[in-house]
Amino acid sequence: MKRLLTVLLLITLTFGMRLFAQEEGEDRNELVQFSGVVVTADSLRPLPFTHIIVKGTRRGTISDYFGFFSFVAEKGDIIVFSSLGFKNAYYRIPDTLSGHRYSLIQVMQKDTIMLSETVIYPWPSPSQFKEAFLKLDPPTDDYDRAMNNLTLAELKERGENMPMDGSMNYRNYIQNVSNQLYYAGQLPPNNLLNPIAWSKFIKAWQNGDFTRKKDTETEYYYNEPLE
């Protein structure tokens, strides 16, 4: 009895191993090295980082920077190509292949996504808009800018006509001494051909800076001639 059971067990194991080997061989015959390149339809440029997934499974890969991909699939698998900005593409690996390698150049079509209209408001409520509007500092107009320019011109004119105080006289004296030391042992520059000096001279002459002031405090008397 034990010998019979041993024989039956050996027959069962042998038959099971043959079935497993046959199925494994059939599975190996169904595997394909699926490779290819993903390109765009308009310019035929490589499309990098495209998702390539076997439909209904988690098997797949991602194309590299040059759009190339390669992974193991099975005959008859449906391959899904997806990339942002492009329409999904589907390809079915033929189940009548005789070899174990298959190559493909997949062309991807651009996809235009139409978004619904969105209105963006700067303020969430009318009360906040009113508060921001009241605190708004409007820009100056042409009149304000003209008045500011006149004020600056008036200050500049007052500064030019203002008499020199002690600090200004001291600064002027030190400047003259520095100029003398700078040109010591050589001839100082001649301003006869200096256009800036001539411009200042003509301006001062037009302003009447060189006219003699009349002495209004002295009165002159003379004797009228006798008739």
Q: For the chain, list the domains and their CATH numbers.
A: 2-108 (2.60.40.1120), 115-201 (no CATH)
Q: What distance in Å separates the CA atoms of residue 48 and residue 109, rounded to the nearest whole number?
A: 14
Angle, CA 197 vertex, CA 191 and CA 200 arms, to 5° = 160
Range with the poorest average pLDDT among 20-34, 76-90, 108-122, 153-167: 20-34
Q: How many residues does the chain have?
A: 227
Model confidence over 139-177: pLDDT tens digits? 677 877 777 777 777 766 766 666 667 777 788 888 888
Q: What is the pTM of this model?
A: 0.42
Confidence of residue 184 (pLDDT cuts 50, 70, 90): confident
Determine the Cα–Cα distance for residues 48 and 86; give it in Å rounded to an integer. Answer: 12
Residue 47 predicted with pLDDT over 60:
yes
Per cent of the chain over pLDDT 70 is 73
Q: Please measure the distance between the N-terminal and C-terminal CA atoms of the chain and give it in whole angstroms.
A: 188
CA distance linking residue 59 with residue 72, whole number of Å: 9
Q: What is the mean pLDDT of the chain?
A: 77
The pLDDT, as a whole number, for residue 70 is 94
Dump pLDDT digits (tens) for 105-149. 999 999 988 888 888 777 777 888 788 778 877 767 787 777 777
Which of 120-156 are b and which e, b meaning 16 or more Cβ less than 10 Å from the residue's Cβ?
A: eeeeeeeeeeeeeeeeeeeeeeeeeeeeeeeeeeeee
User: Which residues are 107's β-sheet partners?
Assistant: 39
- Which residues in 83-200 belong to E strands, given as ranges? 89-92, 101-108
Question: Which of the pair, 121 or 74, is modelled with greater confidence?
Answer: 74
Helix, strand, or coil here: 165? Answer: coil
Compare 54 and 99 and report the one with higher pLDDT: 54
Q: What is the pLDDT of residue 207?
A: 79
Question: Taking the CB of residue 104, how many other CB atoms lie within 10 A of it?
Answer: 14
CB 103 within 8 A of CB 35: yes
Query: Residue 227 has what pLDDT?
Result: 43
Q: How far apart are CA 133 and CA 125, in angstroms?
A: 13
**Dihedral angle computed from the Cα positions of residues 177, 182, 185 and 190, in that order, rounded to the nearest 10 degrees:** -90
pLDDT at 6: 62
